[in-house]
Amino acid sequence: MSQSTFVPLADHGLIRASGEDAASFLHNLLTNDITHLPASGARHAALCTAKGRMIASFLIWREGPDYLLMLSADILPGILKKLSMYVLRSKVKLADITAERTLVGVLGGDLLPAEPMTTAAWEGGTAIRLDAGRAILVLPAGSSLPEGGRAGELAEWHLAEIRAGQPRIVAATQELFTPQMVNYELPAVGGVSFQKGCYPGQEIVARTQYLGKVKRRMYRVKLDRAFAPGTDVFTPEAGEQHCGNVVLCAPAPEGGFEALLVVQSSGMEADAVHVGSPDGLTAERLPLPYSVD
C-alpha cells in the first residue's frame, strides 16, 4: 500500500446551488451537461462570456439534492455575484459555503472511489476520484488531515494539476481563453458537452469546434524559473504580439518549474515559444497524458 499525500486546498472555494431548479439553472449557464449528472458523478464545466471566453472553471458534484461547485477562491466572490444575476425567478439558492467545508487534495495511495470522476461517502464527507493519481476529500469544517499519509504543500497539488493537463481559471486568466484553447473539450478533460442546449458563449464554442481548426492549444512545458498565471507567451511567427498566456506554474521536485501554457500550436511544434517577452525564456515541451492533435 503506497502512502498518500494530503494537501489542504486553501486556494479553492465552494459554491452551493440548492433548490428544485438548481440542475436546470446550472445546465443553462455552463459548458457541460448538468441535468444528467449522476448522484455519484463529478464533472468539469466552465462559465463563459458571450464571446466564449472562460471566466471560471468548476469541478461539480452532487450532495443530496444540491450541487457543489469547486473553483479558485480568488474568483469566487465575483462568480457568485455573476451567477446570482441569472437567478431571477428560478427556484435556486446560491451560497458561498467555503467556511463550512475542509477541502483536501489527495495524491497517490489507494484512492477512493475506484472510478475517475465519481464520488463516494468518506468518513463524514465526500471523496471524489479525479484520475489515477488524484482525489479530493470534502470534509466538515475544522477536520484534521487524514491519518496514514503525509501532509503536502499546495505547490505539489498545483504540479499534479499541471501533469494531469487540467486547467484552472484564476483571476489573472479570466477572459483569456476559449474552452478549446485549454483543451477543455477533449474527452480526457471533459469540460464541454456539444449535445446540450445553449449557454453564454455556446455559439462561438460550437463554431470553433465544427468550422475551424483550433490554432491555440494548451501544452505542458518545462521552465527555468516561475511565471505567474496570465504571463504573456510569444513565438517568432507572432513577433511582438503575444499569442498566448501561462495557465498554471509550479516548482518541480527535480529542479526548475513546470507549467501549462496556451500558445499557437505552430510555435510549439517549432520549439520556439518564449515566456514573458519575445526574446524571453524558452519553454521546453513536456508530454501531456493525452493528445492535443
pLDDT tens per residue, range 16-31: 999 999 999 999 999 9
Looking at the DSSP bridge assignments, the partners of residue 217 are: 263
pLDDT for 148 = 85
pLDDT for 72 = 98
pTM of whole model > 0.85? yes
Instruction: Give dist(CA 244, CA 221) in Å, integer.
Output: 13
Helices (H) and strands (E) in the chain, counts: 5, 18
pLDDT for 214 = 87
Mean of pLDDT values over 219-235:
98
Mean of pLDDT values over 156-182:
98
pLDDT at 122 over 90: no
Instruction: Give dist(CA 87, CA 89) in Å, integer.
Output: 6
Mean of pLDDT values over 98-111:
92
* CATH pick for 171-286 out of 2.40.30.160, 3.30.420.240, 3.30.70.520, 3.40.50.1390: 2.40.30.160
Least confident segment among 83-92, 130-139, 203-212: 203-212
Instruction: Report how far apart, in Å, the C-alpha atoms of 28 and of each of 162, 169, 175 are.
Output: 29, 20, 19
pLDDT tens, position by position, 49-103:
999 999 999 999 999 999 999 999 999 999 999 999 999 999 999 999 999 999 9
pLDDT at 13 over 90: yes
Mean of pLDDT values over 91-116:
92
CB-based burial label for 172 (10 Å; 0-12, 13-18, 19+) = middle
% of the chain exceeding 70 in pLDDT: 99
pLDDT for 211 = 77
- What are the domain boundaries of the chain? 4-164, 171-286
pLDDT at 1 over 60: no
pLDDT at 111 over 80: no
**For residues 283, 287, 290 and 293, what is the CA-based torsion angle, rounded to 10 degrees?**
60
Mean of pLDDT values over 137-143:
95
Task: Starting at the earlier edge strand, list the strands of the sheet with 244-251.
Answer: 281-282, 274-275, 232-234, 244-251, 257-264, 216-223, 284-286
Q: Which CATH architecture has domain 4-164?
A: 2-Layer Sandwich (3.30)
User: Grid cell 446540450 — which residue?
Assistant: 196
Q: Check if the beta carbon of residue 152 is closer than 8 Å to that of residue 8.
A: no
SS3 assignment, position 119: strand
Q: What letter does residue 112 receive in the DSSP assignment?
A: S
pLDDT for 210 = 80
Instruction: Report how far apart, in Å, the C-alpha atoms of 88 and of each of 30, 93, 135, 172, 176 are.
Output: 17, 11, 35, 29, 28
pLDDT for 123 = 83
pLDDT for 113 = 75
